[in-house]
């Protein structure tokens, strides 16, 4: 009986949200905000999730601060389908060097643990979203 109720509740949420929802509610353990990624956790994160977008940023970077709210919104919109991470390049030099991050913000898009795309510079959501979602 609990399983039936769970299915009914899930279907009701889908109907309320409308057709074509971006969120995958079958993965409630996925974070709905960008997670901190470090040199130490980087490989584990990109291997664990099928699609990962890592924001290479720094506190002093104004364009990084401009793109942060866009990434937070996308993390909510695509919870359960895309994991968003934040790698502070000042604190995690090894990974930044490994992936040749020369300018920030740089977004590294991983599909199944492999680098699939590199997006350099701040851009609005309507330009960024299709560049990321094509890997779903």
Which residues are tagged catalytic? 61, 64
Q: In whole angstroms, give the CA distance from residue 132 to residue 77.
A: 12
Three-state SS at 110: strand
Three-state SS at 45: helix
**Strands in the chain per DSSP E:** 35-37, 51-57, 83-88, 106-111, 114-120
Instruction: Return the number of other C-beta atoms located less than 10 Å from residue 58's C-beta.
Output: 15
Q: In whole angstroms, give the CA distance from residue 93 to residue 122.
A: 21
């Amino acid at each position: 009986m609990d399983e039936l109720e769970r299915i009914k509740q899930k279907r009701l949420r889908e109907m309320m949200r409308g057709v074509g929802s971006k969120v995958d509610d079958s993965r409630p353990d996925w974070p709905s905000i960008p997670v901190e990624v470090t040199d130490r956790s980087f490989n584990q994160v990109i291997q664990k999730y099928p699609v990962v977008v890592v924001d290479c940023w720094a506190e002093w970077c104004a364009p990084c601060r401009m793109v942060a709210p866009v990434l937070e919104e996308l993390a909510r919109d695509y919870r359960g389908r895309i994991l968003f991470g934040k790698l502070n390049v000042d604190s995690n030099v090894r990974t930044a060097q490994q992936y040749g991050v020369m300018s920030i913000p740089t977004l590294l898009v991983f599909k199944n643990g492999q680098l699939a795309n590199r997006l350099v510079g701040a851009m609005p959501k309507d330009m960024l979203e299709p560049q990321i979602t094509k890997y779903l």
